[in-house]
Amino acid sequence: MDKVELLMPAGNIEKLEYAVKYGADAVYLGVVDFSLRAMRKGNIITLDNLKQAIDLAHSLGAKAYTTLNIFAFNKDIRHLEETIDIIKDANPDAILVSDFGILRLLKKHMPDTELHISTQTNILNYECVKFWQDMGAKRVVLARELSIPEIAEIKAKVPDMEIECFIHGAQCVSYSGRCLLSDYFTDGERISNQGNCCQPCRWSYKLVEETRPNEYYEINQDEHGSHILSPKDLCLVHHLKEMIDAGVDSFKVEGRTKSLYYVSAVAKTYRAAIDEIYENPNADMDKYFEELKKVGNRGYTTGFALSKDQSGQYSYGLSKGLAGADFLFEFHDKKDAYFCQPELVSGSVVYLVKIKNKILKGDEVEIITPSELFRTKILAIYDENGSEIEVGNTNADIYVKLEKEPRDYKYAIARTIGIKEHVS
């Protein structure tokens, strides 16, 4: 039996590389014009560099799936017709779709490319899976509203169809992501199913009675307001074995708009958890859950995987995902410490890092790399000229000297130690 696939988000080319280095078997990446996530930061993936991104994934030994999963208007279809040769030339391993028109074009112009059907199509039963199989699909992404026993039944009824399921990440309050709130709140400028959702489900709401227009009431008493539409994040790390037994072929993590740290830390954690389950099916997953608390989340829930009871699955007092550990810096380069302090012993090194959150000389930090996880101390901080300083401020490019150094710094990331109390 093949090992279940770990499928990670690739919001930009850098995140793609880190996701694979930290353990992803495959990545999914969206082209700006046709994706449900409109990226705005970093080396975003466009039609111009799509082939570069996919070639990079392949060179690292991973598969790359392209998402063309918007609900398309006429203008989108025309644009796809004009650019489909670019997508074909990029040679993705599969294309994820939700729109029948886009599916029809792909079958016409790219008949040899695998088709994966998006969770946006609300696949809840085995007859629906058979329908998509008849349409030529190789894989379906099941709706998050299904329980593990229901997933197992679907796989048993359609064993030759690949099943992909979300196991981690933010959830949408609407049914399988079909939502118009953003469209209405922005007068059509931020259309959710065109990849531009402004996430009004994460906003704080108050109640107003129409005959008292200037009197606002909390819907429930909480100093943060009321986030009645904001679900907690999905985390199924304790139930991976059950999902493997149910026949799931691919474990999908949400998060193309999340940070480089999020993608790296989550990939590393699930890679280790999956590998241990195959070695020891009764392995305790608690240590991996503790690791996942260190990345941004709104509190964790198992969603619909165990039951249909939704009590306790909404984050009433927290709309923004808060991490249990702060992302401190990423490593960019290293050089001989002689650059900063001529008196230092030859062979000692300092690292050029990009600061994400302020650091101080003497801070203890945790370093994660694709192969390591350890604690160390910041012995010294230097500015770009090699002069010693006491503080490294956010967004600065500086040099640090560490008490213990990573064996391979290229993909290393530093974070704070421990878990903050605000994460549940």
pLDDT tens per residue across span 101-145: 999 999 999 999 999 999 989 999 999 999 999 999 999 999 988
From 301, 336, 362, give the residue that closes a domain. Answer: 301
Q: What pTM was estimated for this model as a whole?
A: 0.87
Q: Are residues 24 and 154 in the same domain?
A: yes
**Residue 195 maps to a domain:** no
Separation CA 273–CA 271 (nearest Å): 6
**Residue 371 maps to a domain:** yes
**Residue 313 maps to a domain:** no
pLDDT tens per residue across span 364-405: 999 999 999 999 999 999 998 888 999 999 999 999 999 999
Residue 321 has pLDDT above 60, yes or no: no
Band the pLDDT of 316: cuts 50, 70, 90.
very low
The encoded tokens of residue 159 equal: 């064993």
Band the pLDDT of 336: cuts 50, 70, 90.
confident
Q: Are residues 236 and 373 in the same domain?
A: no
Helix axes 74-90, 100-109, angle to 10 degrees: 40
Range of the domain at 46: 5-178+230-301
Helix axes 126-134, 148-157, angle to 10 degrees: 40
Q: Are residues 158 and 263 in the same domain?
A: yes
User: CATH code at 32?
Assistant: 3.20.20.70
Q: Are residues 261 and 409 in the same domain?
A: no
Q: Are residues 383 and 238 in the same domain?
A: no
Asked whether 37 and 198 are in contact (CB, 8 A), the reply is no
What mean pLDDT is reported for the chain? 87
Q: Are residues 163 and 22 in the same domain?
A: yes
Residue 38: predicted pLDDT: 55
**Residue 218 maps to a domain:** no
Residue 177: predicted pLDDT: 63
Residue 309 has pLDDT above 60, yes or no: no
Residue 314: predicted pLDDT: 52
Residue 1: predicted pLDDT: 63
Residue 343 has pLDDT above 90, yes or no: no
Averaged pLDDT, 256-284: 95
Which has more pLDDT, 212 or 396? 396
Band the pLDDT of 84: cuts 50, 70, 90.
very high
Consecutive H or E run containing 58 = helix 50-59
**Residue 139 maps to a domain:** yes
Q: Are residues 101 and 50 in the same domain?
A: yes
User: CATH code at 379?
Assistant: 2.40.30.10
Q: Are residues 271 and 361 in the same domain?
A: no
Q: Are residues 282 and 361 in the same domain?
A: no
Asked whether 65 and 46 are in contact (CB, 8 A), the reply is no
Residue 423: predicted pLDDT: 45
Q: Are residues 252 and 335 in the same domain?
A: no
**Residue 221 maps to a domain:** no
9-13, 93-97, 227-231, 411-415: the lowest-pLDDT one: 227-231
Chain centroid to CA 123: how far? Answer: 22
Nearest Cα neighbor of 115 from 92, 139, 131, 98 is: 139
**Residue 212 maps to a domain:** no
Q: Are residues 295 and 384 in the same domain?
A: no
**Residue 117 maps to a domain:** yes
27 DSSP β-pair partners: 8, 64
Residue 318: predicted pLDDT: 53
Residue 37: predicted pLDDT: 56
pLDDT tens per residue across span 146-162: 999 999 999 999 999 99
Q: Which residues contact 379 (CB under 8 A, 6 or more apart)?
A: 361, 401, 402, 403
pLDDT tens per residue across span 219-246: 554 544 555 667 789 999 999 999 999 9
Which has more pLDDT, 185 or 97? 97
Q: Are residues 66 and 128 in the same domain?
A: yes
Residue 215: predicted pLDDT: 72
Residue 369: predicted pLDDT: 98
As a whole number of Å, the end-to-end CA separation of the chain is 36
Number of domains in the chain: 2
From 254, 284, 301, give the residue that closes a domain. Answer: 301
